[in-house]
Structure 1
Amino acid sequence: MTAGNLTGPRPGRSAGRTFLVGTRASTLASTQAGTVRDALIDRGTPAELHFVHTPGDASQKAQTPVARIGVGVFTETLRNALAAGECDVAVHSFKDLPTAPDPRFIAVVPPRVDPREVLVSNGDLTLRELPRGARIGTGAPRRVSQIRALRPDVECVGLRGNIDTRMSRVGDGPEDLAAVVLARAGLERVGRLDRAAETVSVTDIMPAPAQGALCVEVRADDAAAVEAVRHLDDPVSHARAVAERAVLATLEAGCTAPVGAFSTLEDGVLTLQAGVFALDGSTSLVRTISGPVDATGAGPGDAHGGGEDDGTDAGEGVVHPDPQHAAAELGRTLGTRLLEAGAASVIATAGPL
């Protein structure tokens, strides 16, 4: 998908308008959206935040597991608000979006921050230093499966809520947790990295596909909005995120599945590693692929699983003219290799936490 066939601003909205940047009201979400608002303003585009309440906000307060309330609970309402013209720009944590492309929107990906996990622990102990039987807070099957593989002697406890709520559970009392696992990106964005005892290696806990990346969406029929966000796109971050999410899409797994991915893009070569993990820690399938991806001079497009197919072969070792297509093809190839190694059965047997 490209920005070349846009029809102009939605009726009733001036091309010189103040752009409304849609976001949830949580500290992390509004901070992320605030960086987009500020970047627009810095380029001379008037912008302000617009808060959208989602059903997922109430489910967090009730500590309802994400697996029970459904994938996309935090993004669907925001996308609907964008589609309806309630806001002009929507800012998501890219890892939370469905992998299926949505033709209603054009997306850009700002520069990505460190995608690794961090451990916030009592006494600033690392994951390997925690005592036997330690209770670790995390509700993500991907994290649980890898923690159990590394430390089968600890207990993983389901946990939801905002960053401060999760970190407040760490202590030395009988009801406290010894540690919680969080995305480093969240702590970095809200200025709380000082609480991290350890940034966990990707070989210990592989991040979620596209973790640390934001996805900024605008309506595909809003030429003024597309033009306003163009400069936010970082082609390297965009290609890496697309490659990782293409693995997830190929596996037909949701964002709560025990699937991890991590990529680098240096000197025109994208190296992608992805894994599927059994919830009990007994099995891990990890594969790696590398291929040429030229991310210089790329622009915004379909950020969800690669752009539309233009008939060009983008197999491993072949340079595709569109870096998102090339990155997506690498991700699909790696996903296929994981399926051939038995990934579907590992995912199917993951079961509830």
Structure 2
Amino acid sequence: MAELGVSGVGLGRADSGGGAGRAGADPLLPQEENGVDGRAIRVGTRRSQLARIQTDSVVTMLRELYPDLHFEIVAMSTTGDKILDTALSKIGEKSLFTKELENALERNERENPLDAVVFHPKNCGKTLSLLPEKSVIGTSSLRRAAQLKKKFPHLEFRDIRGNLNTRLKKLDEKEDFSAIILAAAGLKRMGWENRIGQLLSPEDCLYAVGQGALAVEVRAKDQEILNMVSALHDADTVLCCIAERAFMKRLEGGCSVPVAVNTLLKDGQLYLTGAVYSLDGSDSLKETMQTGVSYPHQNEDGPNDDVQHVGITAKNVPGQAQEAAENLGVELASLLLSKGAKHILSVARQLNDAR
């Protein structure tokens, strides 16, 4: 019996993709059989409603592609699901929502990666700039808070935990928050797009690495399953996410520091904007770089077929394009580091630990 897993990326590792966290699945249980020979595929997922919606959407596509296979969905709780009384940035653990669920990464097409504002019913029709002085905004993300504190200094920001349902209930039924910030992708996948009161442009708030993307994760050496799920790849999403993940990896980013990105692929050029922030947003570095990613597809049995780029195996995307995307992320991060990003992030991490 083979196994894989699905969830939302973005929450990137560092941040919520609609309250879900990063994506994926590690083998759920040790198995003697690998691949599809057993004609049964176990699909691991977090127990949250959003994770199940995302998993169901991917399994539906796989069932259409492979009608002779049986797919079994197995729900499980992750570290991030179990610790709800502590801010994500304070837990001090990477892969909070995927440590029990991850190995090798595959991508599906990306949803809108932008952040969205959901307002308390009494503030419907407003924007963040129109909220009264000292209005409290809920977010569990240092990245969002750092950027928005600088953009909207008249607002206060407070941590809020829980899945999407829990956060919306806290917003609607209490007077603690005037609005909360969530990923637009998560709201849309849950069918709650009508709750979006304001979409935050990249000028207002750069998003999290991988936010809005879906991932299918399988064992790194399980070639049969890797071949099977390769049909779900979206090449543009793969290249954007490789660049974003390489950027964050080079910076050694995570939940405890504010790191943000924005990517655009147009006319064979991949543009990556990356930034780092102090906790209050007063100190920041932001740069944009680009690279060409127009390469012909190599032969199916080419030498780059099994190469991973920052944990991503994408068999239907040219290896040279993937390498270019990874180099872009590394070079942009290196540029920020040369301008003092390490100091900004070190101070942010120390201040967050001391809170």
TM-score between both structures, scaled by the size of structure 2: 0.80
Higher mean C-alpha displacement, 109-118 vs 215-224: 215-224
Aligned to 1:168, the other structure's residue is in SS state helix
Question: In the alignment, what sits opposite 1:52?
Answer: 76
User: For residue 12 of structure 1, what is the aligned residue in structure 2?
Assistant: 33
Residues 1:255 and 1:294: Cα distance change in structure 2 (over 3 Å):
farther
Q: Does residue 250 of structure 1 match 2:250?
A: yes
**Counterpart of 1:324 in structure 2: which amino acid?**
Q
| Counterpart residue type for residue 63 of structure 2 | I
SS of corresponding position for 1:78: coil
Which whole-Å deviations, capped at 9, do the CAs of 1:201-254 have from their partners, x for residues lacking one?
111111011111122111123232112101011111010011011111111111
Offset at 1:293? Answer: 0.9
1:172 Cα shift?
8.5
AA matched with 2:108: P
Corresponding residue of 1:223: 223
CA distance in 2, matches of 1:51, 1:157: 30
Aligned to 1:37: 59
Q: Indicate conservation of the 8 Å contact 2:104/2:311, yes or no.
A: no
Q: Which residues in structure 2 correspond to 1:57-76 (within 5 Å)?
A: 57-60=81-84, 63-69=85-91, 70-76=93-99
Residues of 1 paired with 2:37 and 2:113: CA distance? Answer: 36
Question: Does residue 1:302 correspond to 2:337, yes or no?
Answer: no
How far apart in 1 are the matches of 2:343 and 2:156?
A: 25
Match of 1:330 among 318, 328, 331: 328
Flag the 1:297–1:235 CA change in 2: closer, same or farther, 3 A: farther
Task: Give matches, 1:1-353, under 5 Å.
Answer: 11-12=32-33, 15-44=37-66, 45-60=69-84, 63-69=85-91, 70-79=93-102, 105-122=103-120, 123-124=123-124, 125-171=126-172, 175-294=175-294, 297=297, 302-304=308-310, 321-350=319-348, 351-352=351-352
Q: Following TM superposition, where does structure 1 have runs of at least 4 consecutive aligned residues deviating by more than 6 angstroms?
A: none
Evaluate the alpha carbon distance shift between residue 31 and residue 164 of structure 1 in structure 2; reply closer, same or farther with a 3 A threshold: same
**Given that residues 107 and 300 in structure 1 are in contact (C-alpha distance below 8 angstroms), is that contact kept between their aligned partners in structure 2?**
no
Moved more, 121-130 or 236-245: 121-130
1:149–1:65 CA distance, 2 compared to 1 (3 A): same
Provide the secondary structure at the position in 1 that maps to 2:60: helix
CA RMSD of aligned residues (A): 2.2
Which AA in structure 1 matches 2:310?
Answer: H
CA contact (8 A) 2:105 2:311 kept: no
Deviations 1:122-171 (A, max 9, x none): 22221212111000001211111011101112111111101111112224
Contact 1:112 1:214 in 2 (8 A): yes
Shift of 1:295: 6.5
| Contact 1:235/1:295, CA 8 A, preserved across alignment | no
Residues 35 and 128 of structure 1, relative CA distance in 2, 3 Å threshold = same
Cα distance in 2 between the residues matched to 1:248 and 1:282: 21
> Residue 11 of structure 1: CA displacement?
3.7
Give the match's secondary structure for 2:83.
Answer: helix
Separation in structure 2 between the aligned mates of residue 260 and residue 140 of structure 1, nearest angstrom: 11
Q: Secondary structure at the match of 2:128?
A: coil
- Mapped partners of 1:321, 1:231: distance in 2: 16
User: How many residue pairs align between the two structures?
Assistant: 305
Q: 2: CA distance between counterparts of 1:262 and 1:180?
A: 21
Task: Indicate how the Cα distance of structure 1 residues 281 and 297 shifts in structure 2: closer, same or farther if over 3 A, else same.
Answer: same
- Where structure 2 has 5 or more consecutive residues not aligned to the other structure, the ranges are 1-30, 299-304
Helix, strand or coil for the counterpart of 1:304?
coil
Letter in 1 for 2:72: E
Query: Per-residue deviation at 1:53?
Result: 2.1
Code of the residue aligned with 1:205 in structure 2: it is: C
- Per-residue CA distance 1:66-125 (angstroms, 9 max, x = gap): 22322212211123xxxxxxxxxxxxxxxxxxxxxxxxx442210011110000012222
- 1:92 aligns with none
Stretch deviating more after TM superposition (222-231 or 290-299)? 290-299
* Change in 2 beyond 3 A, CA 1:239/1:157: same
8 Å CA contact 2:293–2:324 kept in 1: the answer is: yes
Report SS of the residue matched to 1:128: helix
